Amino acid sequence: MQHVQSYYAASAHPSPARPALDGDVHADVCVVGGGIAGCSTALELAERGYQVVLLEAHSIGWGASGRSGGQAIFGFGTSQQAIVALAGLEAARRMWDISVEALALLRRRVAEHAIDCDLHWGHMHVAIRERQRRELHRLQRELEDCHGYGGTELLDRSRVESLLATHRYCAGLFDPGSGHLHPLNYTLGLARAAEEAGATIHESTLVTSIKPGDKVRVATPRGTVTARHVVLARGGYLDGVQTAADWRVMPVGTYVVATEPLGEERIRALVRENYAIADVNFALDYFRRSEDHRLLFGGRVSYSGINESDSGRATRARMLKVFPQLADAHLDHVWGGYVDISMNRAPDFGRVAQNVLYLQGFSGHGIAMAGMAGQLAAEVVAGQAERFDLFARIPHHVFPGGRMFRTPALVLGMLWFRLRDLL
């Protein structure tokens, strides 16, 4: 099955077609989902000597892992203060350390497995309003005083404008330890590494049912996998088998555009250094340079489905608010996809059964944290559940309204945050 049309798909490295599962097989672990979390789980377990079978309903990296903005950032989709309120101070500190470790793990995997994914370090959160500038200042102090995370730099308007050819931002918080990459090529590289370590991957294989037990039976249209452990890593794409945990995440549409190649001189005039940028609005904008000198710009969210045509126009309008000098630039690629958000925006890791784990709710922070989630799941299979259980103890709730009404309910709930962005 082909990937959606996007800049990433157009610039992806060749990847072999993997046959659908046909027949009945046995494994130590069955992983469901071929994104960053699933491929990382398979890689970690295969390297530990487990027999692993990974089932992907479409193609490796077909979902959010191959379509996102590609920004690898510390922390989570919610604030660290919120994590403290949810889990307590000591647990929150340990989770923070794991989020920073996730960035180091990404760096190590790219190096060890020679994954060619245009990885660059450097990220800046930018403030549009004075209130947001104060928020960035408080964040920097919290990072240093509470977490010992040094090295960030708070930039005033003039410093930001020396890096970005725009007057939209009044301040920025630069972090050399976060960065950006080509997410599809990263995911494809993880899959290749997992196979080289001994894992078996089947694409075009939708899981239709899971029967728990000492040995879990995972059914697909043309075969079954019987395994001692199952890890569900499906993100915002929940076709096929359904579990009670599915209602704890909402698939939310987000959009990215890629301009035509602007040439090295013009793209450097817009974004002087090869950093990733994200504002701090609730409905945020984010952008970065590509290797072939395009501007990749994302933003806007939708709770009612993906419409690339309408969203391309809307995302272009947001891009021109930042860089009006791009009014003449053609958009070569427009695409959208779903990210999996939890109600509290904290990661949601847990168990459907004792030997059936799930990884979800990355809430826009999946580039680094989904990779770390795979390591945590592998630790559980190996008998070391302590770090996984830190996250499993975070209280989560289902989205209200059920299948019919949870989307309208969320739209109403998000209205306040969108209005706050304007203040």
Helix (H) or strand (E) holding 229: strand 223-232
Look up the CATH number of the domain holding residue 203: 3.50.50.60
CA 259 to chain centre: 22
Q: What is the pLDDT of residue 130?
A: 96
Condensed to tens digits (0 to 9), the pLDDT of residues 203-212 reads 999 999 999 9
Ranked by mean pLDDT, which of 62-76, 260-274, 357-371 comes out on top?
Answer: 260-274
Of 419, 383, 401, give the one whose Cα is nearest residue 28: 383
Report the alpha-carbon distance of residue 224 to residue 21 in Å, rounded: 8
Q: How many domains does the chain have?
A: 1
Residues in the chain: 423
Q: What is the pLDDT of residue 396?
A: 87
Tell me, yes or no, whether 422 lies in a domain. Answer: no
pLDDT surpassing 60 at residue 196: yes
Report the alpha-carbon distance of residue 195 to residue 190 in Å, rounded: 9
- The DSSP bridge partners found for residue 172 are 126, 155
Tell me, yes or no, whether 63 lies in a domain. Answer: yes
Tell me, yes or no, whether 419 lies in a domain. Answer: no
Q: What is the pLDDT of residue 306?
A: 52
Domain that holds residue 197: 7-413
Q: What is the pLDDT of residue 404?
A: 44
Q: What is the DSSP letter of 17?
A: P
Least confident of 115-124, 342-351, 370-379: 342-351
- Give the CA angle between residues 265, 270, 271 to the nearest 5°: 95
Tell me, yes or no, whether 420 lies in a domain. Answer: no
Report the alpha-carbon distance of residue 188 to residue 196 in Å, rounded: 12
Tell me, yes or no, whether 421 lies in a domain. Answer: no
Helix (H) or strand (E) holding 27: strand 23-32
**The tokens of 15 are what?**
């990847």
Report the alpha-carbon distance of residue 286 to residue 277 in Å, rounded: 5
Tell me, yes or no, whether 423 lies in a domain. Answer: no
Tell me, yes or no, whether 212 lies in a domain. Answer: yes
Cα torsion through 194, 198, 203, 208, rounded to 10: -110
